[in-house]
Structure 1
Amino acid sequence: MKIAITGGSGFIGKNLIAQLAKVVGNEIIVFDRHFDAVLSTYDNVEQRLMDFDISYGFDFHLQQVDVLYHLVTTSTPATARSLVTEITNNVLPSTLMFEAAVRQGVKKIIFLSSGGAVYGGDTAEHHSETDILLPLSTYGEQKLMIERSLAFTTQNTDTDYAIIRLSNPYGPGQNPKGALGLVTKLVYQALTHAPITIYGDGENIRDFIYIDDAIQGILDIVANGADNQIYNLGTGQGASVNEILERVTSEVGVTAVNYVSARQTDVRVSVLDISKFKQITSLTGFVSLSDGIQKTKDFFQESGEIS
């Protein structure tokens, strides 16, 4: 099977490729802005440089591709500001890529959306795939627009799709200095005795999922899920920022904590209803937060990233 992955050198991409590359017969093409040393160690992975914009030759690069994973994004919830910029940099190139995929006969497109950003400020205990969508940020709005673009572009064609609304993944391989990944960042900051900044009162609730579970969930949705469907992917369990901080302090160590003003784009409660996902997954349980924090701590200490 020939598989194309945009954003393959990122946190989720590299962990996904680690599993896909094990399958005999898989040929993987990775599109990203830079070459990655880890990905170059796989015999069945080819890396191609890509500036994700409207000038990219999507038709050429998607020839004979069977499955397309669309993981790349040029922004984060904290950095996205202008909706025009989000449309230009993310929505429009994604739509052009989807159209090219249909023309080239790609059998299935998997889009990794955001389970935290698209549902918005609704304080419902659990968000289901059928909830009304009212994003609070331009990041969430562009994710929603790409979802709709994918569904529209592939209707009445031979190309199927899966939209995966992922919660908050964390764990080994995530950049602790990046804009995403609260759990990973807190573990790293505690290990390095760096001050921790918490936005708001720390009572915002999120659904955190360990990276190994997230990757298995993605693979299960692609293999077992119904075509042309949206799936939430998380643990279905919420934890506040303060709870995470308390667990990190207990498992890793104490460091200075600074509480600052909340951000307008921060959703108060974001926990996913995973009833639909449970019907098709091979997972019988999830890595607990305590175990996930310990695994992340061990990774940093064993990888030499902590001096």
Structure 2
Amino acid sequence: MKLLITGANGFVGKNLIIHLGEIDDIEVISFTRENKIDELPHLLNKVDAVIHLAGVNRPKDDYEFQVGNADLTVALCEAVKQQARAIPIVFSSSIQADRNNAYGCSKKAAEDALLSLSEKTGNPVYIFRLANVFGKWCKPNYNSMVATFCHNIIRDIPIQVHDETAEVQLVYVDDVVRMMLECVQDAVNAIRTNKMPPASGFVQAGPVYTKTVGHIAQQLNFFKESRNTLISERVGTGFTRKLYSTYVSYLPTDKFTYSVPKYGDERGVFVEMLKTPDAGQFSYFTAHSGITRGGHYHHTKTEKFLVIKGKACFGFRHMVTDEFYELFTDGENPEIVETVPGWSHDITNVGDDEMVVMLWANEIFDRENPDTYASPVAQPRELKK
């Protein structure tokens, strides 16, 4: 498939180009600020579809809205007419197209030109009225609140919040790109197989999130603070996942890493890596040869141990029946060992080298209520190497 991308160097364009590079048999023709409008007829030669992202949103003069949004789109429509064949067009409009301001009016004029083209010629046209798009590579201190907040908060630059309760609508750049590509592929495939392409009109660009400015600022500050508390926000799904990915994308290279506390004694070291609000915490510890760690039980807390280096003997003793059980594991054969409430447990390094063990607990350690009670396993046993 051969695609013409206008505005290829912009925020959405950069993300789109990268995604297109991951698809086989895609040829991209770029139209940028370096190109002239009269080049469009030539660039459209043998193009299968157009994704029209080019536009003006921060001009020095309002007249530039008309030139960069409406006039460019009209010229694109005329160039498509000259091809005398169906060329699906995906257009990135704005939710401001229904507002009576210079930017909104120019976007509405561009929409009207495309819809007129579709009505008169049957050329497929798909309009995305985008809310505030956020994601990696958006320019801060330009026209994106999220980009500016991310950039400033990471760098300890104050942010300005005029109204914490003000609501904004947001869409994530990867969702926008995915929907645009699906739209183009469906239309092109239909044309190639002599079928009717999807009907022209307005298309939803993935989930739209409505959030307050205060909520976004607070969430970004939580992300920053998590490096100190080690408590991660719920970044696995939905809006928070996408906002966190965006936040991290603004890290300068000297902030790609951060230190965590290390607690050491004659037995080895203990390091906490990550804590979660409702799914426990992750850590690791080491033990020198012959060292035993643990020797306690829990009422409710549970843990998972994974020896990733060395050889270990786990000992267990039931707190009521005094039943004893032991098992051996090592880093060469990954095996999760569960601690069971009501059983005292310990772990001994039975190898010659240092042992390294990864540990997950189902709750964040609470010094005021640790649910950890000393009780050595205290069973005579021969530790096997």
Q: Normalized against structure 1, the TM-score is what?
A: 0.69
State the match for 2:131 in structure 1: 167
CA distance in 1, matches of 2:57, 2:136: 22
Deviation for aligned residue 1:213: 2.0
Ranges in structure 2 where 5+ consecutive residues have no aligned partner: 188-197, 227-235, 258-385
CA distance in 2, matches of 1:228, 1:100: 19
Q: Quick check: 1:191–1:253 contact (8 Å CA) kept in 2?
A: no
CA distance in 2, matches of 1:224, 1:66: 12
Larger radius of gyration: 2
* Higher fraction of strand: 2
SS in 2 for 1:247: helix
Give the alignment of 1:132-151 within 5 angstroms: 133=98, 135-151=99-115
Deviation for aligned residue 1:287: 5.0
- The answer to whether 1:204 aligns with 2:166 is yes
CA distance in 2, matches of 1:151, 1:228: 8
Q: Quick check: 2:65–2:106 contact (8 Å CA) kept in 1?
A: yes
CA distance in 2, matches of 1:287, 1:211: 16
SS in 2 for 1:301: coil
Q: Quick check: 2:2–2:48 contact (8 Å CA) kept in 1?
A: yes
State the match for 2:175 in structure 1: 213
Larger relative CO (CA 8 A, sep 6+): 1 or 2?
1
CA distance in 1, matches of 2:246, 2:67: 36
SS in 1 for 2:76: helix
CA distance in 1, matches of 2:225, 2:176: 27
Ranges in structure 1 where 5+ consecutive residues have no aligned partner: 34-48, 119-132, 255-285
State the match for 2:49 in structure 1: 67
Per-residue displacement from partner, 1:69-127 (whole Å, max 9, x unpaired)? 11011224xx5763x44223321121011110121235211111012x12xxxxxxxxx
Deviation for aligned residue 1:224: 4.7
Per-residue displacement from partner, 1:244-272 (whole Å, max 9, x unpaired)? 11111221259xxxxxxxxxxxxxxxxxx
Q: Quick check: 2:220–2:247 contact (8 Å CA) kept in 1?
A: no
> In the superposition, relative to structure 1, how do residues 89 and 298 fare at CA in structure 2: closer, same or farther (>3 Å)?
closer
Per-residue displacement from partner, 1:179-235 (whole Å, max 9, x unpaired)? 22211221110011112123x423221222222222212223334582311113252
- The answer to whether 1:288 aligns with 2:238 is yes
- The answer to whether 1:241 aligns with 2:213 is yes
Name the % identity.
23
Aligned residue pair count: 237
RMSD, aligned CA? 2.6
- The answer to whether 1:180 aligns with 2:159 is no
- The answer to whether 1:102 aligns with 2:81 is yes
What letter corresponds to residue 185 of structure 1 in structure 2? T
2:121 pairs with 157, 167, 188, which one?
157
> In the superposition, relative to structure 1, how do residues 248 and 111 fare at CA in structure 2: closer, same or farther (>3 Å)?
same
CA distance in 2, matches of 1:303, 1:66: 40
Per-residue displacement from partner, 1:45-72 (whole Å, max 9, x unpaired)? xxxx314x5xx33212211111011101
> In the superposition, relative to structure 1, how do residues 95 and 68 fare at CA in structure 2: closer, same or farther (>3 Å)?
same
State the match for 1:300 in structure 2: 250
Q: Quick check: 2:49–2:184 contact (8 Å CA) kept in 1?
A: no
Q: Quick check: 1:8–1:17 contact (8 Å CA) kept in 2?
A: yes
Q: Normalized against structure 2, the TM-score is what?
A: 0.56
